[in-house]
């Protein structure tokens, strides 16, 4: 087997965007639009079990009948205002790529391994994040952007990964997915894809027993990753293309 493609989740995987990014942006949107809502870090961690921003808003409102009912247009408005605040946070330099992400993306590009994105993030949020971290030509790195509402059901449903596999025209066993949540892991392995997990701040205590590998990060020179394979083998170093090739070869 050869490495035919690599799929990246975004929030928590490419960058630690949740606690100091999306959560802060939601609260700014609630304040701007006059909703008496504030999501503290602990509450937001629980809300992350609901995949998708608009779905998260609807779920929270369903648990608080004292709040005024929201129309679909109002949910979209909150989400849009939140996205604008998120872009501001990125542009202020408050969110950076995780250790090893740019290095691995550069190596994949040099080896001509196709890369795609699988995330519920909006294009505007992704554009702000990757333009800041990778430069204005960041889109040239990716074959497909499986983002937002491109599929009707969010992770842990495997739909987004099945969508990407169909477009790449590759066998799931020849792909590696990079994720940071259990929901993302279940979506990826549900599509038959070997999955490498780099737990994020909010997900470090989740169950990743189905992962091919769990690593502290992707690693950079001077900041090695510590990893454990599904076989139980452990080690440290850089997660590079050669490492990913071993994951698809079993």
> DSSP secondary structure string, the chain?
----EEEE--BTTTB--IIIIIHHHHHHHHHHHT------HHHHHHHTTS-SHHHHHHHHHHT-TTSPP--HHHHHHHHHHHHHHHHHHHHTT---BPTTHHHHHHHHHHTT--EEEE-S--HHHHHHHHHHHH-TTGGGG-SEEE-TTSSSS-TTSTHHHHHHHHHHT--GGGEEEEE-SHHHHHHHHHTT--EEE---TTTTTS--TT-SEEES---BTTB-EEEEETTS-EEEE---HHHHHHHHH-
Q: How many other C-beta atoms are found inside a 10 Å radius of the C-beta of residue 146?
A: 21
Q: Hunting for tokens 């087997």 — which residue is that?
A: 1
| Separation between Cα atoms, residue 120 and residue 130, nearest integer Å | 15
72 belongs to the catalytic site: no
Decide if 240 is catalytic: no
Measured distance CA(189)–CA(195) in Å, rounded:
7
Find the catalytic residue in 11, 49, 174, 201. Answer: 11
Catalytic residues: 9, 11
């Amino acid at each position: 087997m050869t490495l035919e493609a690599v799929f990246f989740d975004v929030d928590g995987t490419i960058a630690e965007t949740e606690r100091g990014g999306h959560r802060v942006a939601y609260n700014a949107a609630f304040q701007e639009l006059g909703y008496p809502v504030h999501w503290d870090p602990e509450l937001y961690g629980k809300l992350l079990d609901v995949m998708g921003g608009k779905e998260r808003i609807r779920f929270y409102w369903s648990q608080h009948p004292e709040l005024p009912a929201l129309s679909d247009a109002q949910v979209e408005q909150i989400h849009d205002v939140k996205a604008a605040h998120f872009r501001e946070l990125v542009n202020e330099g408050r969110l950076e790529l995780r250790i090893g992400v740019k290095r691995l993306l550069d190596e994949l590009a040099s080896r001509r391994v196709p890369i795609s994105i699988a995330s519920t993030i909006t294009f505007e949020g992704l554009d702000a994040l990757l333009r800041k971290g990778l430069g204005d030509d960041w889109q040239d790195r990716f074959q497909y952007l499986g983002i937002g509402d491109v599929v009707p059901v969010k992770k842990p449903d495997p739909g987004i990964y099945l969508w990407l596999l169909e477009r790449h025209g590759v066998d799931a066993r020849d792909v590696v997915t990079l994720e940071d949540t259990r929901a993302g892991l279940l979506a990826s392995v549900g599509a038959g894809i070997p999955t490498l997990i780099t737990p994020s701040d909010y997900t470090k205590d989740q169950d990743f027993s189905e992962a091919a590998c769990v690593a502290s990060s992707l690693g950079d020179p001077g900041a090695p990753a510590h990893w454990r394979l599904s076989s139980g083998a452990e080690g440290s170093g850089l997660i590079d293309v050669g490492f990913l090739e071993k994951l698809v070869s079993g």
